[in-house]
Copies of this chain bind each other. A is one copy, B any other.
């Protein structure tokens, strides 16, 4: 090892991935697209492609078993991976699940986890086809790979957004993050006095959005029915701001996002305010909503107009015009990702 020492936190996740992988060269014709989108693309036939994506979840970093039941964790892990395949406009078909566990977990706990995995596999019609089980010295680690299939012409990369395209988001945003605040508050209350019952009343929607998010497979179906192929797409795992910036960077474009257009559920707003949080900030930077963010040509607007699951939140501009967030007073503020840096 050389004498230099660069700390991981100095690079951030994307800087680190780039530094570790930029020397690798493509050797197989079947490899169409590797690192840098929601999933990699492998040629399957003249018309179809295989999509593959992978995720690693670490106890204490990505989840806390204090308020995340194992069954929900299993469900969410599969949903998040299926969502990555949706973000490429594909359909997930198979998953592999590897787990490392310390022996503080009894078999029954792992059965809870696999109950959740099975519920999600049934819901999204994916087959569990493999995995690995190992012991760990501490905690639970879950690694999932998901395989999907897509008609090659329909693949939506992050890089296809064009000037004047409309920016659209599915569902509503910020709920998962605000739901997490409720769960964390109840954990504090419980830690202070385990006899007090948790007060989750009226927060069902936002807690479910945190504990049991859904992959928007239905949106992929709507897009097919409406005959709309987005020019770019990504799923919202880290927060709207971060994902919009990914699309703009990959597509070499700018954007205007309008504050007042961002879809936020009433419960999310009310609870955010209860916590002295700005609802729009929760939507922009909260993450874990697993909604889809995509861009379409203006000529496709008529097709999606009125669809209750899709909201136009802005439009794509020229790269030199920059990436902006326009607030209620029509002031343009430069978009910054406050996303998540796990290091």
Does A54 belong to the interface (CB within 8 Å)? yes
With A45-B45, A61-B136, A106-B6 already in contact, the answer to whether A31 and B145 are too (CB < 8 A) is no
- Chain B residues with CB under 8 Å of A8's CB are 101, 103, 105-107, 110, 135
Identical copies in the complex:
2
> Interface size bucket, A side?
35 or more
Chain B residue, CB-CB nearest to A137:
B60
- Chain B residues with CB under 8 Å of A35's CB are 128-131
Does A1 belong to the interface (CB within 8 Å)? yes
- Chain B residues with CB under 8 Å of A16's CB are 107, 110, 133
Does A98 belong to the interface (CB within 8 Å)? yes
Let me know if B24 and A121 touch, CB within 8 A: yes
- Chain B residues with CB under 8 Å of A59's CB are 137
- How many whole Å from A24's CB to the nearest CB in chain B? 5
- How many whole Å from A56's CB to the nearest CB in chain B? 4
With A44-B45, A103-B7 already in contact, the answer to whether A21 and B128 are too (CB < 8 A) is yes
- How many whole Å from A211's CB to the nearest CB in chain B? 16
Per the bound structure, the CA–CA distance linking A52 and B42 in Å amounts to 13
Let me know if A145 and B54 touch, CB within 8 A: yes
With A127-B34, A131-B35 already in contact, the answer to whether A138 and B141 are too (CB < 8 A) is no
- Chain B residues with CB under 8 Å of A56's CB are 98-100, 132, 134, 141, 143
- Chain B residues with CB under 8 Å of A218's CB are none
Per the bound structure, the CA–CA distance linking A20 and B113 in Å amounts to 9
Let me know if B103 and A54 touch, CB within 8 A: no
* Chain A contacts with B in 2-59, Cβ cutoff 8 A: 2, 4-11, 13, 16-17, 19-21, 23-24, 26-28, 30-31, 33-35, 39-40, 42, 44-45, 50, 52-59
With A2-B108, A100-B56, A141-B141 already in contact, the answer to whether A28 and B127 are too (CB < 8 A) is yes
